């Protein structure tokens, strides 16, 4: 949620800030704003709506003079989307300006205290509390002032702060919200994500929790929470800036759907060595894996759905119980987790607040933790005992596609690895799975060769009011992701349902014209799902079947059939979701939705 950009250099800041915010707009787009220092005065321009409104208001940045500034694109939490709630926020004396990503948990207490000291508030946000608190704590040195503020606020944050007392300086800090820093020959930059800074440098500084950075046109200095200088290592970005651009596609989502074969290949690359699965930096001994009593997978959203599929994979190979839980539920109960269990945390960004908190709780209880993430150097990657990167490349569209399928493949690699290390997966079974894994990228490519039938199918069904995805076993897990993909970008009501549960209530919703999409990829459960589809068909539903095994019986029942490539039943969710991603995409396009930026959503959910 929310995107932050900052610049301290010799050029005009506002056009550079707008360019960075355009790259970061996937993180939030309820409103946008900039603060630029000019002749010792801070000029703030902000407005509700998409970034284009701010660009128009500022003549694409030309009307805001000054070479030091901060920008923000907002996903609303405290306070509705409005001009007054947009960032940046002034302090009362307008000597300080602040942008913020995250949640200040004790803001109400701080607000009441500041009001007693005579401070008045113009917005409903928790961020304005920070701006006034900076003024209240002002000691004449911006680094030490920010350090004092950090002692008083609780929650998650990435902050950018300007001060008229130090007009050439931009100060920033992070805790549980991402922030990266770089510089080129003449300026320093901060941003919430790497792609916004790639035009300027490939050498980045990844900020750790409670680290402070001060940028001036000539240098970058880092400090700890006590305002003491520290040294930082450089992280070199080796992927191409074009990976974060549309490359001729109408939307990032469509581009990222087509990038899946290569992303899947990157996930596999170097991890299959002969007849074994190996991960750099991870060495779970056979004796340790053997004594595992169970595995927990914790995640949110699509990553949770990947975990549901991963459960089938790991239980098959490790023959130990696997619990999959939404991270926000895991962290607030009393989970039975100890040193004899492995906790796998899955997240595309590696910054998902609930998943990060759940991981910390698992570590506190003694569990070994493994992160499956896409973003190098993210909080989850740094805090877990071990990490597996999916290497999917930057994913810009809010609706994940390649992020999800690479998580599935990473979990399958983990499943084979644990099965081999435990000795419970025979070598012949491992060989068959490894062979199937190696074939997945090519099969994914074949699923994208002819998408016209999916596009035409979406044209026939884009005005559906309710859509039900049904399946059994691993197909039930896949149905939940397919349903989420449709609802989040098209705003059509959709549900993913266990086919065996239809008669326990949901079938009462089926009527003439209801759209039911059945997944039938598991041979042992095929006939049962066909029976379920027959039940909804007799009640007037339109039926679409997704299968790798077309036959006359299914053809006679279904109104339309989506045929996918055959592979090992444990791996087929990687392939079955691809046409359903395309179906959701085209349904959204035909409904005139903003595919990459669906309403009320942001790419990285860094608050509860």
Residues 331 and 311: their CA atoms lie apart, in Å, by 19
Q: Which residues contact 435 (CB under 8 A, 6 or more apart)?
A: none
CB 328 within 8 A of CB 354: yes
For 357, phi and psi rounded to 5 degrees? -65, -40
Positive or negative: CA dihedral 92, 148, 98, 215: positive
Residues 284 and 286: their CA atoms lie apart, in Å, by 7
Query: 439 burial class (0-12, 13-18, 19+ CB within 10 angstroms)?
Result: middle
Q: ω into residue 88 within 30 of 0, thus cis?
A: yes
DSSP collapsed to 3 states, 135-184: HHHCCCCHHHHHHHHHCCCCEEEEEEEEECCCCCCEEEEEEECCCEEEEC
Query: 255 burial class (0-12, 13-18, 19+ CB within 10 angstroms)?
Result: buried
CB 264 within 8 A of CB 270: no
Residues 73 and 23: their CA atoms lie apart, in Å, by 10
Tell me the pairing of strands 272-273 and 276-277.
antiparallel
Q: What is the DSSP track for 472-538?
A: STHHHHHHHHHHHHHHHHH--EEEEEEGGGGGGTGGGG--TT-EEEEEE--GGGHHHHHHHHHHHHT
Q: Where would I find the H helices in 25-153?
A: 51-57, 107-116, 127-137, 142-150
By annotation, the residues acting in catalysis are: 2, 603
Q: Which residues contact 259 (CB under 8 A, 6 or more apart)?
A: 392, 393, 402
* Structure tokens, 183: 């510089």
Q: Where would I find the H helices in 347-401?
A: 353-364, 379-383
Residues 307 and 300: their CA atoms lie apart, in Å, by 9
For 171, phi and psi rounded to 5 degrees? -115, 140
Q: Which of 341, 381, 606, 601 is nearest to 488 (CA)?
A: 601
* Structure tokens, 371: 């992160």
């Amino acid at each position: 949620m929310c995107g932050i950009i900052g610049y301290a250099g010799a050029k005009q800041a506002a056009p550079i800030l707008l360019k960075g915010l355009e790259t970061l707009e996937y993180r939030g787009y309820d409103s946008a704003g900039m603060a630029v220092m000019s002749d010792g005065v801070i000029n703030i321009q902000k407005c509700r709506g998409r970034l284009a409104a701010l660009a128009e208001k500022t003549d694409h940045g030309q009307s805001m003079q000054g070479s030091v500034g901060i920008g923000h694109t907002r996903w609303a939490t405290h306070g509705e989307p409005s001009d007054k709630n947009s960032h940046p926020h002034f302090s009362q004396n307008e000597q300080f300006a602040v942008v913020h990503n995250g949640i200040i948990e004790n803001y109400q207490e701080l607000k009441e205290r500041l009001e007693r000291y005579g401070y008045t508030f113009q917005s409903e946000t928790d961020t304005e509390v920070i701006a006034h608190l900076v003024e209240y704590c002002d000691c004449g040195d911006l680094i030490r002032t920010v350090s004092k503020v950090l002692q008083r606020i609780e929650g998650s944050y990435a902050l950018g702060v300007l001060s008229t007392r130090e007009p050439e300086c931009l100060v920033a800090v992070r805790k549980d919200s991402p922030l990266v820093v770089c510089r080129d020959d003449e300026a320093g930059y901060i941003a919430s994500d790497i792609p916004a800074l790639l035009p300027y440098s490939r050498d980045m500084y990844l900020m750790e929790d409670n680290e402070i950075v001060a940028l001036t046109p000539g240098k970058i200095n880092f400090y700890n929470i006590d305002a003491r200088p520290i040294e930082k290592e450089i992280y070199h970005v080796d992927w191409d800036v074009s990976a974060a651009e549309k490359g001729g596609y109408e939307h990032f989502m469509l581009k990222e759907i087509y990038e899946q074969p290569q992303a899947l290949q990157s996930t596999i690359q170097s991890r299959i060595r002969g007849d074994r699965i190996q991960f750099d930096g991870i060495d779970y001994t056979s004796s340790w894996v053997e004594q595992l009593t169970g595995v927990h997978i914790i995640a949110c959203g699509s990553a949770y759905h990947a975990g549901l599929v991963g459960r089938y994979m790991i239980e098959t190979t490790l023959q130990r119980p696997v619990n999959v839980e939404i991270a926000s539920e895991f962290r607030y109960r009393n989970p039975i987790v100890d040193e004899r269990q492995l906790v796998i945390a899955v997240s595309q960004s590696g910054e998902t607040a609930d998943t990060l908190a759940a991981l910390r709780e698992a570590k506190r209880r003694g569990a070994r933790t493994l992160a499956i993430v896409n973003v190098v150097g993210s909080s989850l990657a740094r805090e877990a005992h071990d990490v597996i990167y999916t290497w999917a490349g930057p994913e810009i569209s809010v609706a994940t596609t390649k992020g999800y399928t690479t998580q599935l493949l990473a979990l399958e690699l983990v499943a084979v690895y644990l099965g081999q290390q435990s000795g419970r997966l025979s070598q012949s079974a491992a060989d068959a799975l490894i062979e199937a894994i190696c074939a997945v990228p090519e099969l994914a490519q074949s699923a994208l060769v002819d998408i016209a039938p999916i596009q035409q199918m979406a044209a026939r069904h884009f005005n559906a009011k309710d859509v039900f995805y049904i399946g059994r076993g691993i197909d039930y897990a896949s149905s939940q992701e397919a349903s989420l993909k449709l609802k989040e970008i098209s705003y059509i009501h959709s549900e993913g349902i266990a086919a065996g549960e239809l008669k326990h209530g949901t079938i009462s919703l089926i009527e003439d014209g209801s759209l039911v999409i059945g997944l039938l990829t598991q041979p042992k459960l095929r006939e049962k799902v066909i029976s379920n589809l027959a039940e909804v068909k007799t009640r007037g539903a339109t039926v679409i079947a997704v299968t790798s095994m077309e036959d006359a019986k299914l053809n006679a029942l279904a109104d339309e059939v989506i045929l996918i490539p055959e592979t090992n039943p444990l791996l087929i969710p990687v392939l079955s979701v691809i046409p359903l991603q395309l179906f959701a995409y085209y349904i959204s396009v035909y409904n005139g939705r903003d595919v990459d930026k669906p309403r009320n959503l942001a790419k990285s959910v860094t608050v509860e």
